[in-house]
Amino acid sequence: MKKNLVHLAVGLFFILNLTSINAQSIRFNPYNGRIITCEGTNSSAYFRFDWSSSSTPYPPKYSVAAFAKLTTHNGVYYNNIYGTNKGSGIPENFTLSSGTYTWTLELYEHFLGEQIFTLTASQTNTFYINYKMYAANNFGGGDIYLEGSLVASGSPVYKIVGESISVGAIDQSDGTYYRIWNASGTNNSNWLKNDSPIYGATSRNYSYTVLSGDNGATLVADLKKIVNVTFQNNFVGAGNGGTIQVNGTTYNSPTSQFQVVEQNAISGSAQWHHINGIDYSFSQWNDGNTSYARTFYPSSTTTYTANFRGKPTTAGRSLYFNTNAGEPVTLYWTDNPNTNVTQYQVWRKVKQNGVVGPEQLIAAVNRAVQTYIDYDYAITTTYSHDLLQYDVRGYYQAEQTYSDPNFAAVYGRQNAKMNEEAAQQIETKEIPTEYSLTNYPNPFNPTTTINYQLPQAGFVTIKVYDMLGREVATLVNENQSAGYYKAGFDASRLTSGVYIYTISVNNYSQSKKMLLAK
């Protein structure tokens, strides 16, 4: 500490050198009006206290002793001693919390011949311990109002505990999103201190009272993003068209963008579609959710996609049968208009003696054939034998799906001899008008005859597979002219069970089942 006061010690120095010196002024630091800012996030500020005085001759009095007295803001005082044993001295180092401080430093002198110390100089200083605080937007950049002025986000302000800071939020773009002070709906804006909401601070313009411990804190405007939301459908093989509901209103897919305050609600609802011969039913949204109608809370610009699964429709299939009694049951139908429906499965189930048996896959034919002859049964005019139910299910190659079951019925009877007779008739005909594949007998043990007809010449392959897809026999593998053919199959070395026989010629292929019953 500076000790620039003139003082005299008692003793020889006093006797030999009486001095007529008296202080005329005194000064100390912190000086009047000084602002001291707490560093970092410290709640208090450290400073060094120092003082000095000036002196001039003051006859006829002679100062033989002196002391300085510091009186602080809260009435505490310290003495700095010169020439007496009064008090304990003024500290050099102080640490104070934020606030306004008024301190007084006084100089007292003891003059020769007097009994008391006399106040000869005094200085009163007011100084301030400030907090450094900041105002910013929650996205870091942009502008913000601070103390009535437009400033860059992150600008500082210096305040004392108990003072107010005025801040104001500004709607603006962050370069990616437009952000607003949201005061309606949900996820409304709120002022934050650092990362924590300030209770009740929901007004765009806000006055904050500085609290103890706020040094280094940031008042943050919690602006909300305006996000763009699009809805669309997704149909395999058919694109993103159709319609979709948003907030209860139907729109074409893909929709235009809906502007939503982030994390506010927007609802979407998928709708059933029929497009070009395919029935599309909703499967899931692009986030895996399987609720066709739901509420979304977007946090960023996004597209919500309703995914669909398509199956060939049975509408327009027009399945019907021949009507002449005694003839093999013949099915006729109309192809699905969608060319990705490339094949048809023929299924049959029989109601016999009041009991409906299991449905059986009896054939698979390619697109454009549009007919199938079931030589196992003959047409009857009344329900005197069996009620035959048939279904023709289209195969949608784009999604590897089949149409849903939709059986049609006809009266018929099983006729074991029909296959033999049909085979004999086949041999007498000239050139067939369509492809065909069948076998007799079925079930068989251990041999059966496979009959097939070719409306045009081609390389013919006929193979037999077990139910695991393993090839067990190749019956035909050669070029053949148009006409009627048969190939024998001996299964004596095979075990009982169901086998699949197939024909492939030109652009035609067909598969059927046969049962080996030993």
Residue type, 115: Q
Does domain 420-516 sit in CATH 2.40.50.140? Answer: no
**305: which residues sit within 8 A by CB, 6+ positions away?**
231, 232, 233, 234, 285, 286
**495: which residues sit within 8 A by CB, 6+ positions away?**
516, 518
Task: Give the pLDDT confidence score for residue 430 in this predicted structure.
Answer: 57
- Residue 252's CB: how many other CB atoms inside 10 A? 12
Report the alpha-carbon distance of residue 168 to residue 29 in Å, rounded: 37
| Strand spans (E) along 222-370 | 224-234, 243-246, 249-252, 258-261, 266-269, 273-275, 278-285, 293-296, 302-312, 320-321, 328-332, 341-352, 355-356, 360-366
Q: What's the pLDDT tens digit per position in 305-317?
A: 999 999 999 999 9
**Three-class SS string for 199-212?**
CCCCCCEEEEECCC
12-130 folds as Immunoglobulin-like (2.60.40)
pLDDT tens for each residue of the chain, 518 residues long: 333 332 322 222 222 233 334 556 889 999 999 999 999 999 999 999 998 887 655 556 777 788 889 999 988 888 876 544 445 688 999 999 999 999 999 988 888 888 888 898 999 999 999 999 999 999 999 999 999 999 999 999 999 999 999 999 999 999 999 999 999 888 999 999 999 999 999 999 999 999 999 999 999 999 999 999 999 999 998 999 999 999 999 999 999 999 999 999 999 999 999 999 999 999 999 999 999 999 999 999 999 999 999 999 999 999 999 988 888 999 999 999 999 999 999 999 999 888 999 999 998 888 888 989 999 999 998 777 789 999 999 999 999 999 999 999 999 998 754 444 444 444 444 578 899 999 988 888 888 889 999 999 999 999 999 988 899 999 999 988 888 888 888 898 899 999 999 999 999 999 999 999 87
Task: Give the pLDDT confidence score for residue 17 in this predicted structure.
Answer: 32
Task: Give the pLDDT confidence score for residue 82 in this predicted structure.
Answer: 57
- Residue 164's CB: how many other CB atoms inside 10 A? 11
DSSP assignment, residue 162? T
Report the alpha-carbon distance of residue 112 to residue 17 in Å, rounded: 13
320-414 folds as Immunoglobulin-like (2.60.40)
